[in-house]
């Protein structure tokens, strides 16, 4: 690409974007606090971790809940620190698929294609994950109020679809107020975390669980060997601290000084998420009461813990409203990020009908077609829930595995090329430390990618298998067909349009 001369009337942020080959099309209206609010709302750690307690309570018990999060949080901090170097050097909405392109030019088309498809799939699956967690909390409220009510899968599926449509409508028609919403999301999340923690501790006093139970109790109801069961429980911790690449996908055209602010936001949201998540889970386990009742409750583990702590149904439901609203914010923010990722990949010709999905609505100022594609695929993806008893694990596994694989691609390329390919940047990890965190990151991703495709329990039946592998097979088939038909001829990686 020819050297780019910045005209005097072009902002530095837009000039930096132009040097990477793109013109600014979206409004740059997110402050650092708004962006941190969006990133924290995407991770939504304390809420996501508590809403997905059913994963770890039967697959390692308290040891998996607490120490699994510590393990996942530490490894994801390493991943975030590694990716922050790329973000500081190349702050573009393409994120991972753009970074592998500039890191290994001779392998641009295929590396960018694979990384882009994996990343798009991961973000769409994450929208589905948040909508599913929300629908489960709502179903739990109904079960707590009407214990004899028996939920049908299609009923919960309709709640899931309703959440998805709501997120689409807000993203499409209320874009100008999204920064305000995300600032509110950050405040609501931190305030809700503090309020719920203090309330349940005060209500349960002095009937707390022992410290041994909170930090050392081991439970295995999966049918897998104990070691495998504990590792499978890492899925809960992995969900709670993943998706921090939201910062990259939103930062290109919507955050000032992206190469400086972006890396700080990316690493900070993982650190905040791990800390608040660990504290909240410890609080919940101290007030959990009868753990067998928590595991088997039709109201769900989180609401049952609130019921044990408050000994009042109305009070427990009021407390549940706080994480439920957080999940609503999360569904909004994840769909925002997913649509920006689809927009960026389509802009570079990576999807079928790319020109259609890369359009920005002239009046709304958002990639409306990318938003519509996200909502449609999320609804289709949710159909897994209608036919599988392990759909909860399958949908969560799909999002965590796909996102982690997309993180591994630029890190692996950087390592294979000696960690000396990035230009001067504001965020730079010292060489030796960089190698250490890269090796930790790649080892963690390799291990969990295999494990999270396992069925959650044995023996395995047709309805209890982990359909995450089926979802990946469909993605692979569609991407390979698209590559053969169009990609190998026309896809050249990130395009230059300036």
Give me the pLDDT at residue 38, please.
62
Q: Which among 1, 406, 54 has a CA at the least distance from the CA of 219?
A: 54
Give me the pLDDT at residue 27, please.
46
CA–CA distance, 309 with 304 (Å, rounded to integer): 9
Q: How many CB atoms lie within 10 A of CB 281?
A: 25
Encoding tokens for residue 92?
A: 């573009």
Give bridge partners of residue 59 from the DSSP assignment. Answer: 220
CA–CA distance, 165 with 423 (Å, rounded to integer): 42
The alpha carbon of residue 202 and the mean position of all alpha carbons in its chain are separated, in whole angstroms, by 32
Give me the pLDDT at residue 186, please.
79
Give me the pLDDT at residue 311, please.
92
Encoding tokens for residue 385?
A: 């829930």
Give bridge partners of residue 220 from the DSSP assignment. Answer: 59
Where do the domains of the chain lie, and which CATH numbers do they carry?
28-490 (1.20.1740.10)
Q: pLDDT of 205-232, one tens digit each?
A: 898 999 999 999 999 999 999 999 999 9
* pTM for this entry: 0.87
Give me the pLDDT at residue 312, please.
92
Identify whether the C-beta of residue 295 lies closer than 8 Å to the C-beta of residue 58. yes
Encoding tokens for residue 260?
A: 């400086």
**Could you give phi then psi for residue 361, rounded to 5 degrees?**
-60, 125
Q: What are the residue ranges in the chain where pLDDT is below 50?
A: 1-14, 16-17, 19-22, 24-29, 496-498
Q: Which 3-state string (H, E, C) describes the chain?
A: CCCCCCCCCCCHHHHHHHHCCCCCCCCCCCCHHHHHHHHHHHHCHHHHHHHCHHHHHCECHHHHHHHHHHHHHHHHHHHHHHHHHHHHHCCCCCCHHHHHHHHCHHHHHHHHHHHHHHHHHHHHHHHHHHHHHHHHHHHHHHHHHCCCCCCCHHHHHHHHHHHHHHHHHHHHHCHHHHHHHHHHHHHHHHHHHHHHHHHHHHHHCCCCCCHHHHHHCCCECCCCCHHHHHHHCHHHHHHHCCCCCHHHHHHCCCCCCHHHHHHHHHHHHHHHHHHHHHHHHHHHHHCCCCHHHHHHCCCCHHHHHHHHHHCCHHHHHHHHHHHHHHHHHHHHHHHHHHHHHHHHHHHCCCCCCHHHHCCCCCCCCCCHHHHHHHHHHHHHHCCHHHHCCCHHHHHHHHHHHHHHHHHHHHHHHHHHCCCCCCCCCCCCCCHHHHHHHHHHHHHHHHHHHHHCCCCCCCCCCCCCCCCHHHHHHHHHHHHHHHHHHHHHHHCCCCCCCC
Q: pLDDT of 132-174, one tens digit each?
A: 999 999 999 999 999 888 888 888 899 999 989 999 999 998 8
Give me the pLDDT at residue 32, please.
59
Helix 178-204 with 153-173: angle, nearest 10 deg:
140
Q: Which among 84, 326, 74 has a CA at the least distance from the CA of 195?
A: 326
């Amino acid at each position: 690409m020819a050297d780019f001369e910045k005209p005097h009337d072009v902002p530095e942020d837009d000039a930096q974007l132009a040097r990477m080959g793109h013109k600014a099309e979206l409004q740059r209206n997110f402050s650092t606090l708004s962006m941190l609010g969006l990133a924290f709302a995407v991770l939504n750690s304390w809420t996501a971790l508590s809403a997905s307690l059913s994963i770890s309570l039967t697959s390692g018990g308290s040891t998996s809940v607490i120490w699994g999060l510590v393990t996942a949080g530490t490894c994801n901090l390493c991943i975030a620190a590694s990716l922050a170097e790329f973000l500081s050097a190349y702050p573009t909405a393409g994120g991972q698929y753009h970074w592998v392109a500039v890191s290994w030019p001779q392998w641009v088309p295929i590396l960018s294609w694979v990384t882009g498809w994996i990343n798009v799939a991961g973000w769409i699956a994450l929208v589905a994950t948040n909508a599913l967690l929300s629908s489960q909390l709502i179903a739990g409220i109904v079960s707590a109020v009407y214990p004899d009510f028996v939920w049908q899968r299609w009923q919960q599926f309709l709640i899931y679809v309703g959440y998805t449509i709501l997120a689409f409508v807000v993203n499409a028609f209320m874009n100008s107020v999204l920064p305000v919403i995300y600032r509110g999301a950050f405040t609501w999340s931190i305030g809700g975390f503090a309020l719920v923690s203090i309330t349940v501790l005060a209500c349960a006093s002095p009937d707390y669980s022992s410290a041994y139970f909170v930090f050392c109790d081991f439970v295995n109801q999966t049918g897998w060997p104990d070691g495998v069961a504990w590792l499978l429980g890492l899925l809960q911790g992995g969900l709670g601290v993943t998706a921090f690449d939201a910062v990259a996908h939103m930062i290109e055209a919507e955050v000032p000084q992206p190469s400086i602010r972006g890396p700080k936001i990316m690493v900070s949201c993982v650190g905040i998420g791990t800390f608040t998540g660990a504290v909240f889970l410890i609080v919940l386990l101290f007030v959990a009461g009868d753990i067998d009742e928590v595991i088997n409750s039709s109201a769900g583990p989180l609401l049952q813990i609130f019921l044990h702590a408050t000994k009042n149904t109305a009070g427990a439901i009021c407390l549940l409203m706080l994480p439920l609203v957080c999940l609503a914010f999360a569904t909004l923010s994840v769909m925002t990020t997913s649509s920006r990722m689809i927009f960026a990949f389509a802009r570079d010709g990576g999807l079928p009908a790319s020109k259609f999905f890369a359009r920005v609505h002239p009046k709304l100022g958002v990639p409306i077609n990318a938003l519509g594609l996200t909502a449609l695929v999320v609804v289709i993806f949710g159909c897994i829930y209608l036919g599988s008893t392990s759909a909860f694990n399958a949908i969560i596994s799909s999002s965590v595995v796909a996102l982690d694989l997309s993180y591994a691609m630029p890190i692996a390329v950087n390592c294979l090329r000696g960690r000396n390919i990035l230009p001067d940047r504001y965020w730079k990890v010292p060489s030796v430390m960089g190698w250490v965190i890269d090796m930790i990151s790649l080892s963690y991703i390799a291990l969990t990618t295999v494990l999270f495709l396992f069925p959650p329990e044995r023996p395995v039946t047709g309805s209890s298998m982990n359909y995450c592998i089926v979802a990946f097979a469909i993605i692979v088939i569609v991407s390979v067909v698209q590559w053969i038909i169009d990609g190998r001829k026309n896809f050249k990686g990130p395009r230059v349009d300036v």
